[in-house]
C-alpha cells in the first residue's frame, strides 16, 4: 500500500458499511453518499457494524485498490460524534487509528453557565 502521506485527502465513511460490498459498491458509496470522486487521489476508509474490520479504498491511476484489515480480538474505535457521513482526517490520525488509539476522543464538555 502507498504511504498515507501520498494521498491528497483521507476520508472516513462514518456510518457502518455493508461489507458484502466490493470495490465498485464502495466506490458507489463514495460517489453517491459521500459526494466525492472515487478516482481522485484520496483514501476512503469504511468500517463494518461489528467494528472489527476496515476496508481502505483508493484509485492508483490504473484501477482501484482495496485493503482489508480484520482485528481478531479487539474493535476499532470508530468515531460516532460527527454529524456528517464523510469525515476528513489527517494521515497522523489514521495512523493512530489503525494502531488502536482513539484520535477522535472528545475532550471534556465545555460548560457555559449563566450563573454560579
Q: How far apart are CA 57 and CA 42, in angstroms?
A: 8
For residue 44, is it within any domain? yes
The band of 56, judged by pLDDT with boundaries at 50, 70 and 90, is: very high
Q: pTM value?
A: 0.82
Share of the chain above pLDDT 70, in %: 88
For residue 113, is it within any domain? no
Edge-first strand order for the sheet with 86-89 is 64-70, 53-59, 42-47, 9-13, 86-89
For residue 108, is it within any domain? no
User: Which residues fall within 8 angstroms of residue 102, CB to CB, at 6 or more apart?
Assistant: 77, 96
For residue 18, what are the domain limits?
4-98
The pLDDT of 8-14, averaged and rounded, is 93
* 57-110 residue pLDDT tens: 999 989 999 999 998 888 888 877 667 788 888 888 888 888 887 766 655 566
Share of the chain above pLDDT 90, in %: 53
Number of domains in the chain: 1
Tell me what pLDDT residue 109 has: 62
For residue 66, is it within any domain? yes
For residue 86, is it within any domain? yes
Amino acid at each position: 500500500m502507498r504511504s498515507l502521506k501520498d494521498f491528497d485527502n483521507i476520508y472516513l465513511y462514518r456510518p457502518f458499511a455493508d461489507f458484502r460490498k466490493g470495490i465498485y459498491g464502495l466506490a458507489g458509496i463514495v460517489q453517491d453518499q459521500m459526494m466525492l470522486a472515487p478516482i481522485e487521489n484520496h483514501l476512503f476508509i469504511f468500517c463494518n457494524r461489528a467494528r472489527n474490520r476496515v476496508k481502505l479504498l483508493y484509485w492508483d491511476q490504473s484501477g482501484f485498490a482495496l485493503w482489508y484489515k480484520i482485528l481478531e480480538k479487539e474493535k476499532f474505535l470508530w468515531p460516532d460524534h460527527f454529524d456528517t457521513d464523510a469525515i476528513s482526517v489527517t494521515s497522523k490520525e489514521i495512523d493512530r487509528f489503525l494502531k488502536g488509539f482513539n484520535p477522535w476522543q472528545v475532550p471534556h464538555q465545555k460548560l457555559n453557565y449563566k450563573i454560579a
